Amino acid sequence: MIADTNLVNAARTVRERLDRPGWPGAAFAIMRGTDIVLRDAFGLASVELGTPLSAATVMTVASVTKQFTCLALHMLAKEGRIDLDGDALPGITYRHLMHNASGLPEIMETYALGGGDLSAPAPRAALLDLVRRQSARNFKAGTDFAYCNTNFAYLHDAAERIEGRPFAEILRDRILGPAGMKTAILGTRQDEVIPGLGNGYLVRDGKLRRAVDAWPGGGEGGLRASLDDMIEWARNWSTKKVGGELLDAICMRRPFANGRPNFYASGVQVAPWRGLDTVGHGGLMPGFLTEFIRVPAEDLTVIVIANSDRFQPWLVAREILDRARGLDPDAIRLKAESIVPGTYFSEGGGLSLDLLAQDGYAFVRQHGATFGLDVEGNALRGGFAFRWDGSGVIGANGDRIAYRRIDPAGALPKGLDGVWRHAELGAAYMIDGAALRIDGPLRGGVWADLEPLAGASFRIRARDGWYPRVFDAKLRDDGALQVNAGRSRGFAFRQ
């Protein structure tokens, strides 16, 4: 068993490195069963006002919400009010949604393909209508994994239809209140006033920017909670006061159609970390990042909630576990000498990525996201199935997409100029040379640049937004312009 004193010392070592006077920070806790081993916070909840961040500061815990959503659906199933093996959509069951095995396009990326961004407000009903119109699928339901907020937005709606009331009330009455999470609330409006809510920040070019979370929120990531709330939730995992055996049910993994197990259970990830079996989930929304990870064999929980993106709670929580066991946190990271940096392209998948060497370690940048790799080539980030084997990417179901290193210098394919439309997306792409203007159903006048890759393929890079938005595109033989985001693929535009 990991000694509590080692955990405390490890956490304090990490805090000393991360704490920066006058900057945002984090609240973090270590729990052993129902007992608090450590409860601490550093940094500012409001840089403008100089308000310290504390264990009582309410923050957006983002996708940690998903385990609450799945637990609520399991409660309804236990009452006989929903069949989780029944179809939520034709050929897609509620379990497919819970396990991120639906193949549906990602709602945030679908919005982005139409010009949207997390800093640009849009009504929840309009976003759901947008994604419901899409016929494109990433894969057949049950055959693969793709992290997808659409799944949990649909689960949110299913619970509301069954109970005939807002999902925020369902979570409050069924889970948050009974679990003693006194200040936790599901926020579903961008303009909602939430008592005790801290500010979120982004670091851009070494400077702080106030993050505006324009996403309307819901069962996919709208929970606002303090560290003290999440401490009560950690206690509930030990006592099972709320949920009982259903907490075990949401941790059950299910196989893909080929028999390979899916690491993503129902709103939680069940995966090993350096010899430890863990259950948990992270969260990310503009200005807020969270990690809630449990080691069931030791009834141990580590919680980290940050109000900026200057460090990654997913890595911080694991660093605490590593240091407490005497492990070098950097030993798991793939060294830069193990890769050949450059741009890589998949002809069959119509996808590209960049391998980077930074500070002596290997990183991947794909569709605007940058992440490190472990010594086996696995992504050092939560919620994504990505394993680099030197010339290809292996997914959660074991399938492999081959890549080759390319020199992206060259010309864009001929015949791009003009207006390209996607009826289901309700978007028009107007191309003139290397410039693209996106006019979508919820946002227009968004400019992007086109960057050649290989042959008829190129990248689309949006110029604005909180986070980089980069898509892969290809001029197909049938005359269509196919655009792929990370988890929303096969969008065919036509002139």
List the CATH number of the domain containing 368.
2.40.128
- pLDDT at position 134, please? 96
- pLDDT at position 45, please? 98
Query: Could you tell me if 459 and 395 lie in one domain?
Result: no
Q: What are the Cα distances from residue 217, in Å, to 108, 158, 179, 286, 308? A: 11, 16, 22, 12, 18
Q: Which helix (H) or strand (E) holds 66?
A: helix 65-78
Q: Is residue 462 part of a domain?
A: yes
Q: Is residue 443 part of a domain?
A: yes
Boundary residue ending a domain (328, 362, 391): 328
Q: Is residue 97 part of a domain?
A: yes
Query: Could you tell me if 204 and 300 lie in one domain?
Result: yes
10-residue averages of pLDDT along the chain (495 residues): 97 97 98 98 98 98 98 98 98 98 96 88 91 95 97 98 98 98 91 91 93 88 97 98 98 97 97 97 95 98 97 96 97 96 91 96 94 95 90 94 91 95 97 96 93 95 85 96 95 97
- pLDDT at position 467, please? 77
| The Cα angle at residue 480 between residues 476 and 485, in degrees rounded to 5 | 80
What residues contact residue 20 under an 8 Å CB cut-off, 6+ apart? Answer: 43, 310
Domain that holds residue 351: 333-406
The residue ranges of DSSP E strands in 43-186, in sequence order, are 44-46, 51-52, 58-62, 87-89, 92-93, 185-186
Query: Could you tell me if 247 and 383 lie in one domain?
Result: no
Q: Is residue 127 part of a domain?
A: no
Q: At 396, list the tokens.
A: 């959660």
Q: Residue 386's CB: how many other CB atoms inside 10 A?
A: 18
Q: Is residue 41 part of a domain?
A: no
Q: At 211, list the tokens.
A: 């993050």
Query: Could you tell me if 451 and 341 lie in one domain?
Result: no
- pLDDT at position 215, please? 86
Query: Could you tell me if 248 and 348 lie in one domain?
Result: no
Query: Could you tell me if 318 and 352 lie in one domain?
Result: no
Query: Could you tell me if 234 and 256 lie in one domain?
Result: yes
Which residue is listed with tokens 């075990």? Answer: 248
Boundary residue ending a domain (328, 362, 381): 328
Query: Where residue 263 sits, what CATH number does that domain have?
Result: 3.40.710.10
Residue pair 109/167 in contact (Cβ under 8 Å)? The answer is no
Which candidate, 181, 148, 4, 173, places its Cα nearest to that of 66? 148
HSE-CB for 453 with a 13 A CA cutoff: 25
Number of domains in the chain: 3
Query: Could you tell me if 290 and 238 lie in one domain?
Result: yes
What residues contact residue 154 under an 8 Å CB cut-off, 6+ apart? Answer: 88, 89, 97
Give the number of residues written for the chain: 495
Boundary residue ending a domain (348, 379, 406): 406
Query: Could you tell me if 362 and 218 lie in one domain?
Result: no
SS (H, E, C) 149-173: HHHHHHHHHHHHHHHCCCHHHHHHH
Tell how many helices (H) and how many strands (E) occur in the chain. Answer: 10, 31
Residue pair 219/65 in contact (Cβ under 8 Å)? The answer is yes
SS (H, E, C) 351-410: EEEEEEEECCEEEEEECCEEEEEECCCEECCCCCCCEECCCEEECCCCCEEECEEECCCC
| pTM of the complete model | 0.96
What φ, ψ does residue 28 adopt, rounded to 5°? -145, 155
Q: Is residue 108 part of a domain?
A: no
- pLDDT at position 423, please? 96
- pLDDT at position 32, please? 98
HSE-CB for 363 with a 13 A CA cutoff: 12
Q: Is residue 343 part of a domain?
A: yes
Which candidate, 436, 368, 445, places its Cα nearest to that of 120? 445
What residues contact residue 2 under an 8 Å CB cut-off, 6+ apart? Answer: 295, 298, 300, 321, 324, 325
Query: Could you tell me if 347 and 489 lie in one domain?
Result: no
Query: Could you tell me if 215 and 361 lie in one domain?
Result: no
Q: Is residue 14 part of a domain?
A: no
Residue 236, SS3 per DSSP: helix
Query: Could you tell me if 362 and 313 lie in one domain?
Result: no
